[in-house]
Amino acid sequence: MRHRVAHRKLNRTMSHRKALRRNLAQSLIEHGQIRTTLTKAKDVRPFVERLITLARYARLRAASGDAAGSLTARRQIHKLLADRSIVPQASRDEYGGMSDAHRRRALRMPSGRRFRTGDPKGRLAFTGESVIHRLVSDVAARYEDRPGGYTRIIRLADRRVGDHSPLALLQLVGDEEPPTSLTKPGKSARRRRSDARYSAAVKAIRAAGARQAERPGPERVAETGVQREPADTSEEQPGPGAADQS
C-alpha cells in the first residue's frame, strides 16, 4: 500500500506536472480566470494560493523597509512559478511579425537576464510585462487585507469533447463580471461537429426502433387473425419401391 500520497498524478510525470501547474498559474495571473478540467483546477488552486501569499509577504516586507525579506520572497516565487513575459493584447499581431532579436529587446531588460516591468522607452513600440511583477504589484495588492481564499472554482455544465471530463472555471476573487445579456455563447466548431454526430446517432436509433415496431409480432398476428403459412422445409420422401428399382 502506498502511503502519504497527497497529490494528483494527472497521468503525467513529475516534471510535466510541474510545468502544467506553472502554465495554469501564469495564465490565471495574466487573464484573471481560466477554463480547465475540474481535476486540474483543484490541483492548481493551492499552488496559486501559496504564490499570492508569498507576493503579499513580499509587499509587506518592502513596505516595512525590509528589502532583504522582500527579495527572499520574490526569489521563492521565481523558484516556484518561474517567469515569462505578458505581451499586450493590442500588440499581439505586431509581436507575431517581429524577429527574435526584436522580441528579446521588447520583452527583456537590456541585460537580457530579466523581463521588463515598466513602460516602453526609446524606439520600442511596446514592451511585455513580467508575470511575477504583475503578481506582486497588481494581484497581491488587491488582497492585502485578505488572509487567504483568493480564488474560487465554478463548476460548468459543459463537458470536454472527447473524454467527457467535467469542466470548471478557476478565477481570482474580484475578477468575476455580471452577465450583460442572456444570450448563450456560440459553440465551437468541434462542439458543433460532436452535436451533429450525436443527433445523427439518435435519429438512426429511433429509425431502427420504428422499423422494428412495424414488424408484426405474435400478439399483432392474433389481433388481425392473419397467420403466416409455415415454410415447407420437409424434403420429398422416396417411395417404397425406390430402393428396389435402384
pTM of the predicted protein model:
0.69
pLDDT of residue 27: 95
**Interval 56-66: pLDDT, tens:** 999 999 999 99
CATH topology of domain 14-87+128-175: 50s Ribosomal Protein L17; Chain: A, (3.90.1030)
pLDDT of residue 240: 59
Reading the block at residue 102, the C-alpha cell is 526584436
The CA distance from 15 to 9, in Å, is 11
**Interval 154-188: pLDDT, tens:** 999 989 988 999 999 999 998 666 555 555 667 78
Inter-residue contact 37 to 179 (CB < 8 Å): no
The CA distance from 70 to 68, in Å, is 5
pLDDT of residue 231: 56
User: What is the SS3 assignment for 86?
Assistant: strand
Query: H or E segment at 204?
Result: helix 189-214
Low-confidence ranges of the chain (pLDDT < 70): 111-113, 175-185, 216-246
User: What is the SS3 assignment for 233?
Assistant: coil
pLDDT of residue 229: 59
pLDDT of residue 51: 96
Bridge partners (DSSP) listed for residue 168: 36, 155
pLDDT of residue 41: 96
Amino acid at 190: R
